Amino acid sequence: MYKSGFVTIIGRPNVGKSTFINGVLKQKIAIMSDKAQTTRNTIQGIYTDEEAQIVFIDTPGIHKPKHELGKVINNMATSSARDVDIILFMVPFDEPLGKGDKYIMDMIENADIPIFLLINKIDLAKNKNEVLKSIATYNDKFNFAEIIPISAMTLDNVDHLIDVIKDKLQEGPKYYPDDVITNHPEKFIIQEIIREKILHLTKEEIPHSVAVQILSMKKDEDGMLNINANIIIERKSQKGIIIGKQGSMLQKIGTRSRKEIKKRLGTPVFLDLWVKIQKDWRNNETRLNEYGYKLDDYWWIILKE
């Protein structure tokens, strides 16, 4: 009997959701960083083996929104918990159960599907007791179907988690061919790679106020992929930071992005990056749509088949 199903992974920002999904798929489909709110879209990661196909959904970290952008990405995360077969709620073992976690637990409390608690980052635990303490705290507050400590980084206990997920899934079809691992087009992947390099290279307000827009992607006769992209920021002062002294920062962003895009797509890449100021874009619905931050109703269609 072949099994399949949809499994969403939710939690506060920075708990390791994208690291987990990339680790399970052994390929990077979602960007990762130590900055909160790295992920801004729902991203399907499709795990397929001989016994089952699990469509994991990586989601943006649920947080207290300060902009329209925050509201949109929170909405993506919370609506991903509808119409799935299992919810994975991820927390790091080393942070106390806070308001954010309570908010999420209240939200999923009435879901009539199994909810697993994933206690992540156990590679950082000095001893078992630290992890056990965290398990006890959460166990007191919520009736989880399973509580599974893992490390998304070292993949400790992740095979076990996959087995438990398979146990809970029902018989079902392969929704995707074996070689499909994500639902997003190349354009999205390129845009995210560039944004990730910016997150890694900058601090303070930049990571939160930046967006990347791909204007065009064209292959020329020599097989070179020409990419034209805008880095969108909100203020003039941020433009200076992104460009850097004599363009040094922009060059670093460009070089690192180009290398990863080339590796990912297997073609030589020419990357033309421009910096553009778009005042308060995070509160502007038209701009949010333009930069790809809208409720993605396209995976709903897949679910409703």
- The residue ranges that bind ligand GTP (CB under 6 A) are 11, 13-19, 32-34, 36-39, 60-61, 120-121, 123-124, 151-153
Of ligand GTP, Mg ion, none, which one sits near residue 120, judging by CB under 5 to 8 A according to partner kind?
ligand GTP
Q: What is the total count of residues that contact Mg ion (CB under 5 A)? A: 4
Beta carbon nearer to Mg ion, 131 or 199: 199
Please state, in angstroms and rounded to a whole number, the distance separating the CA atoms of residues 275 and 233.
7
According to DSSP, residue 283 is labeled G
How far from chain centre, in Å, is Cα 233? Answer: 21
Beta carbon nearer to ligand GTP, 93 or 299: 93
Q: At what angle do helices 236-243 and 248-265 cross, to 10 degrees?
A: 70
The phi, psi pair for 146, rounded to 5°, reads -150, 150
The least CB distance from residue 1 to Mg ion, in Å, is 33
Length of the chain: 305
By CB under 5 A, is residue 33 in contact with Mg ion?
A: no
Beta carbon nearer to Mg ion, 3 or 195: 195
Please, where are the H alpha helices in 169-304?
186-201, 206-209, 236-243, 248-265, 285-290, 298-303
Q: Which listed range, 13-21, 72-80, 194-202, 271-279, lies at the site for Mg ion (CB under 5 A)?
A: 13-21
279 SS3 class: coil
Among 8, 22, 38, 42, binds Mg ion (CB under 5 A): 38
By CB under 5 A, is residue 18 in contact with Mg ion?
A: yes
Contact 93, 131 (CB under 8 A): yes
Beta carbon nearer to Mg ion, 57 or 105: 57
Of ligand GTP, Mg ion, none, which one sits near residue 28, judging by CB under 5 to 8 A according to partner kind?
none
Q: Across the chain, where does the E strand assignment appear?
A: 3-10, 43-48, 52-58, 86-92, 115-120, 146-149, 211-219, 225-233, 269-277
Beta carbon nearer to ligand GTP, 70 or 269: 70
Of Mg ion, ligand GTP, none, which one sits near residue 74, judging by CB under 5 to 8 A according to partner kind?
none
Residue numbers of the site for Mg ion (CB under 5 A)? 17-18, 38-39
